Amino acid sequence: MDGQTRRHYLKAMGIPLWVPRAVETERIEEAEVSLTDVGAKSLDLSGTELEAPFDASAYAEYTQFQQKASLPDLSDFFKTEKTTPVLTPKTLVPLTAVPPDCTKMDWLSLEQSVSQCELCNLHKTRQRTVFGIGNQQASWMVIGEAPGAEEDRQGEPFVGRAGQLLNNMLAAIGLVREQIYIANILKCRPPNNRDPKPDEALLCRGYLERQIALVQPKLILVVGRIAAHNLLNTTQSLAKLRGQRHDLPHTQIPVVVTYHPAYLLRQPLDKRKAWQDLQFARQTLAR
């Protein structure tokens, strides 16, 4: 790619062309540690709260003592450190509902099934289901985490500010939104954009698997740590997941992982790395 084209693509993604390399590297490492190892919410953080597992036995002991001594309710105190819920084959999730068998559904019945879905509690707070959109014969499929506020209002994935950046990221490798198929791990918005819970992701998984089976993409681009963890059944950091070809479990569909556009809105210097990921994805597809 010649210099002028490269500059054009970088500009489309809003990548500063003049960032001193030393500063960039230092800050990127800092960001990766804070996002993965500390267990912070990765993306779309506005107004979200961290969820923490609850130490029920410690709290039970405390309440007995509390009643005798008229002490305040300290349930928050017994929350242990946050761990990210991740779907792995070993994760035992008590399912409260039985997902429908989507494996033979066509597009219409699949979309209908999603629009009527009440498998998890997210149906109680959603405005609209967000099924997925795009070219049903696409070579590229982009998979994100879950709808945000704007997606919940419009019923379409990636239509907010993060969606605008996603469009620019695609433009940076010569793709337009209409060429690809876009879907999320969850079809309903989690309240306050919190992370998907394991049971929510598991109950929703059949819908996404059927979408993938119907599209039969040549490559899946996963945006963000949470989506990558759920799709690939892993707990590895985003830093480790980037820059290599993964296979979608039980298939040979190549999966490439990159940053979530909402994260890039907050850390624009990492757009440069995202662009490298996109180049890598393009090369992977061409192989």
Return residues touching ligand URA (CB under 6 A).
44, 144-148, 151, 157-158, 162, 184, 262
How many CB atoms neighbour CB 72 within 10 A? 7
**220 - beta bridge partners?**
141, 255
Tokens, residue 124: 């109680």
Report in angstroms how near the CB of residue 224 gets to ligand URA at its nearest: 6
Separation CA 203–CA 95 (nearest Å): 8
Nearer to ligand URA by Cβ, of 145 and 200: the residue is 145
Report in angstroms how near the CB of residue 243 gets to ligand URA at its nearest: 21
Say which residue the tokens 């309240």 belong to. Answer: 191
Tokens, residue 206: 């059949």
Residues 6+ apart with CB under 8 A from 26: none
CA angle 83, 87, 90 (to 5 degrees): 100
Using an 8 Å Cβ cutoff, are 27 and 271 in contact? no
Burial group, residue 23, by CB count within 10 angstroms (0-12, 13-18, 19+)? exposed
Rounded to the nearest 10°, the torsion over CA 248, 249, 251, 252 is 50
